[in-house]
Amino acid sequence: MTDNHYEGGYAPAFMKSRENLRKLIPQIIMERSLCNFSNGCFSIDSFGQTIQISYPEGQIINTGSETSHSLDKRLLLLNYLSYAKNLPLSGQWVSYRDLPSGNVFYPHIKKYAIEALGDFFSSCDKNILRQSLIEMGFDLIQAKADITAKGFFAPKIPILLHFWEGEEEIPSACQILFDSTISEQMHIEDSAALCNIIKNTIIDQYTNAFNQAPQLK
Cβ distance 138 to 161 under 8 Å? Answer: yes
Look at residue 1 in the predicted model and tell me its pLDDT.
Answer: 38
Q: HSE on the CB side for 169, CA within 13 Å? A: 0
Radius of gyration of the chain (CA): 18
What distance in Å separates the CA atoms of residue 71 and residue 9, rounded to the nearest whole number? 10
pLDDT, one tens digit per residue, over 141-200 is 999 999 999 999 999 999 999 999 998 889 999 999 999 999 999 999 999 999 999 999
What distance in Å separates the CA atoms of residue 126 and residue 147, rounded to the nearest whole number? 9
Contact partners, residue 177, CB within 8 Å, separation at least 6: 93, 94, 95, 159, 160, 161, 162
Residue 164 Cα distances to 5, 126, 159, 189, angstroms: 37, 11, 17, 27
* pLDDT at 217 > cutoff 60: no
* pLDDT at 138 > cutoff 50: yes
State mean pLDDT over 112-138.
Answer: 97
* pLDDT at 122 > cutoff 70: yes
* pLDDT at 123 > cutoff 90: yes
Q: DSSP assignment, residue 169?
A: T
Look at residue 216 in the predicted model and tell me its pLDDT.
Answer: 47
pLDDT, one tens digit per residue, over 76-118 is 999 999 999 999 999 999 999 999 999 999 999 999 999 999 9
What distance in Å separates the CA atoms of residue 151 and residue 170, rounded to the nearest whole number? 27
* pLDDT at 2 > cutoff 60: no
Determine if the peptide bond prior to 214 is cis (ω within 30°).
no
Cβ distance 97 to 103 under 8 Å? Answer: yes
Cα 131 → chain centroid: 17
Question: 214 pLDDT band (50/70/90 cuts)?
Answer: low
Look at residue 215 in the predicted model and tell me its pLDDT.
Answer: 54
The pairs formed by 97-103 with CB atoms below 8 angstroms and a separation of 24 or more are: 98/180, 99/178, 99/182, 99/183, 99/188, 99/191, 100/183, 100/188, 101/188, 102/188, 102/191
Pairing of strands 60-61, 49-54: antiparallel
pLDDT, one tens digit per residue, over 183-211 is 999 999 999 999 999 999 999 999 999 99
Q: HSE on the CB side for 54, CA within 13 Å? A: 9
Q: Order of strands across the sheet with 49-54? A: 36-38, 41-46, 49-54, 60-61
Look at residue 3 in the predicted model and tell me its pLDDT.
Answer: 46
Look at residue 169 in the predicted model and tell me its pLDDT.
Answer: 85
Look at residue 69 in the predicted model and tell me its pLDDT.
Answer: 67
